[in-house]
Amino acid sequence: MNLNDKNTEKYIKAFETYFNGSVSQPFHKVRQQAASNFEKLGFPTTKKEEWRFTNIASIAKADFKIAEKKNAPTVSLEDIEPFLLANWQGARIVFIDGFYSEHLSDIKNISDKITLEPLSSHFEGKAGLVNKNLSKIATFDDEAFTALNTAFTTEGCLVHIPAKVVENNGIHIIHIAASGRTLTNPRNMILCEDNSQALVIESYHTLCTDDVFVNSVTEISVGENTRLYHYKLQDESLKSNHISNVAINQKSNSNYISASFIFGGKLVRNNISTKLDGEGISSTLNGLYISREDQHIDNNTFIDHAKPHCESHELYRGILMDKSKGVFSGKILVRQDAQKTDAKQSNNCLLLYEDAQIDAKPQLEIYADDVKCTHGATVGQLDESAMFYFRARGIPKEKALSMLTYAFAEEIITGIKDDSLRDRVEYLLLDRLKSHQA
């Protein structure tokens, strides 16, 4: 019918020849299913309500080849130096184009009960963590990009925190897209069993000057009475197309605290969906993004309150500059059983300099009566009187502007549990503001 379908077909054809030797894996059945679902769904168009404000035709049309392990370039520790967090105390696992790089990874400082390794070592054999859990939370029935990722899932990262393990040192997963004109499908699975605690940072970077298409999927299971801090830092080049799907399942009395920081990417879409599948759950989804030039950043969150006595907090802040475009859609569903739900959502956008554009679509869908649900959305500029206050005290305009903008973002940054990440995010934010003024 159109180019869109032709490209869907292209990936399907690639799928048929992509796998040699791994066809016998039990997981391959899931891949096949995902491929056929992707074929059926095709790339979404703006006619679909969820994609109303984000047109991904440029991705669908472009000619990306699928990343292969044998083509992944050699990357040295020096190359990735800028992506490492200063004073980092925890473990590090690095993936180039979605494939595990042993010599760059540094798995230490964490309990030896924790499994931190590529998924691929678990594909053989029938039973096991991976085959039991992979693709169970991040389903691909209706999500074309998850289906595409699943069809090409070969390595990816597995984080397994067994029951009763409390790990204070963090785990840093680094995904680097190093080959240009390539589609990479990073995949992460984070399984936290009952009564455990962990901190996981995912960060995404590019090491090439060409266009790339990064299509990542992260699946997270948070067991009973478990606490997980989960941060995502995306600082890819302005030539990257970044689509990410994060799916979370929480059990009773668990606490999931997350924040995503988006600095890079030309066309960015983040889907986060969390299911509160038990009582007494607390879930926090925060986000901060700063966009410039012609970046398009779309954040899409979905919180499913399925059981009573749960709370969710959502705070998204965006700073938009130049001709960039921001989109936020946040949906909160409160099911009939989910009495005593307390859900808060707030989305604030700061439009700096002319031509920036924002579309927001907060949604509440509520079927239980004894609940407290609120959402708020604001779009505006820096307060003129605050600006005047600074100027009256001899602070130059640029400096005043960056101070006020920093103050706007500060609430999310101070909430970061890990010091090294907080420093990095702070640095990146100030750097973006400074480079814009220069």
Partner 1 sequence: MSSETEELESLANQEYKYGFVTDIEADALPPGLDEGTVRAISAIKKEPAFMTEWRLKSYKKWLKMEEPKWPKVEYPEIDFQDMVYYSAPKTTPKYESLDEVDPELLKTYKKLGIPLEEQKILAGVAVDAVFDSVSVATTFKEKLSELGIIFCPISEALQNHPDLVKKYLGSVVPATDNFYAALNSAVFSDGSFVYVPKGVRCPMELSTYFRINAQNTGQFERTLIVADEGSYVSYLEGCTAPQRDENQLHAAVVELIALKDAEIKYSTVQNWYPGDENGKGGIYNFVTKRGICHENAKISWTQVETGSAITWKYPSVILKGDNSIGEFYSVAMTNNYQQADTGTKMIHIGKNTKSNIVSKGISAGKSNNSYRGLVKVMKSAENARNFSQCDSLLIGDKCGAHTFPYIEVNNTSGKVEHEATTSKIGEDQIFYCNQRGLDTEQAVSLIVNGYCKEVFRELPMEFAIEAQNLLSISLEGSVG
Give the interface with partner 1 as residue ranges (CB under 8 A).
Answer: 49, 53, 320, 336, 339, 349, 351-381
Task: Assess contact for 325 and 353: CB atoms under 8 A.
Answer: no
Q: How far is CA 259 from CA 168, 296, 335, in A?
A: 18, 19, 25
Work out how close the CB of 53 gets to partner 1 at its nearest, in angstroms, rounded to a whole number: 8
**Nearest CB to partner 1, comparing residues 323 and 422:** 323
- The tokens for 391 are 């100027």
Give which of 415, 410, 416, 418 is closest to 87, Cα–Cα. Answer: 418
Work out how close the CB of 174 gets to partner 1 at its nearest, in angstroms, rounded to a whole number: 35
**Nearest CB to partner 1, comparing residues 46 and 378:** 378
Give which of 158, 144, 209 is closest to 179, Cα–Cα. Answer: 209
Concatenated DSSP letters for 202-251? EEEEE--SS-EEEEEEEEEEE-TT-EEEEEEEE---TTEEEEEEEEEEE-
**Nearest CB to partner 1, comparing residues 55 and 111:** 55
**Nearest CB to partner 1, comparing residues 212 and 343:** 343
Work out how close the CB of 60 gets to partner 1 at its nearest, in angstroms, rounded to a whole number: 24
**Nearest CB to partner 1, comparing residues 102 and 365:** 365
Largest CA distance in the chain: 72
Distance separating alpha carbons of residues 381 and 433, to the nearest angstrom: 15
Task: Assess contact for 179 and 71: CB atoms under 8 A.
Answer: yes
Work out how close the CB of 318 gets to partner 1 at its nearest, in angstroms, rounded to a whole number: 11
Give which of 66, 100, 63, 69 is closest to 185, Cα–Cα. Answer: 66
Work out how close the CB of 340 gets to partner 1 at its nearest, in angstroms, rounded to a whole number: 11
Residues near 336 by beta carbon (within 8 Å), at least 6 away in sequence: 367, 368
Work out how close the CB of 49 gets to partner 1 at its nearest, in angstroms, rounded to a whole number: 8
**Nearest CB to partner 1, comparing residues 239 and 335:** 335
Work out how close the CB of 79 gets to partner 1 at its nearest, in angstroms, rounded to a whole number: 38
Give which of 247, 190, 244, 252 is closest to 223, Cα–Cα. Answer: 252
Work out how close the CB of 314 gets to partner 1 at its nearest, in angstroms, rounded to a whole number: 13
**CA 104 to chain CA centroid, nearest Å:** 22
Work out how close the CB of 224 gets to partner 1 at its nearest, in angstroms, rounded to a whole number: 26
How many CB atoms lie under 10 A from the CB of residue 13?
A: 10
Give which of 108, 107, 95 is closest to 67, Cα–Cα. Answer: 95
**Nearest CB to partner 1, comparing residues 333 and 413:** 333
**Nearest CB to partner 1, comparing residues 170 and 362:** 362
Give which of 434, 215, 432 is closest to 324, Cα–Cα. Answer: 432
**Nearest CB to partner 1, comparing residues 353 and 388:** 353
Task: Assess contact for 320 and 373: CB atoms under 8 A.
Answer: no
**Residues in the chain, overall count:** 438
Q: Is the dihedral of CA 425, 101, 185, 197 positive or negative?
A: negative
* H-assigned helices in 244-371: none
Work out how close the CB of 343 gets to partner 1 at its nearest, in angstroms, rounded to a whole number: 9
Angle between helices 28-41 and 144-151 (to 10 degrees): 140
* H-assigned helices in 43-128: 57-61, 77-80
**Nearest CB to partner 1, comparing residues 107 and 366:** 366
**Nearest CB to partner 1, comparing residues 72 and 351:** 351
Work out how close the CB of 373 gets to partner 1 at its nearest, in angstroms, rounded to a whole number: 4
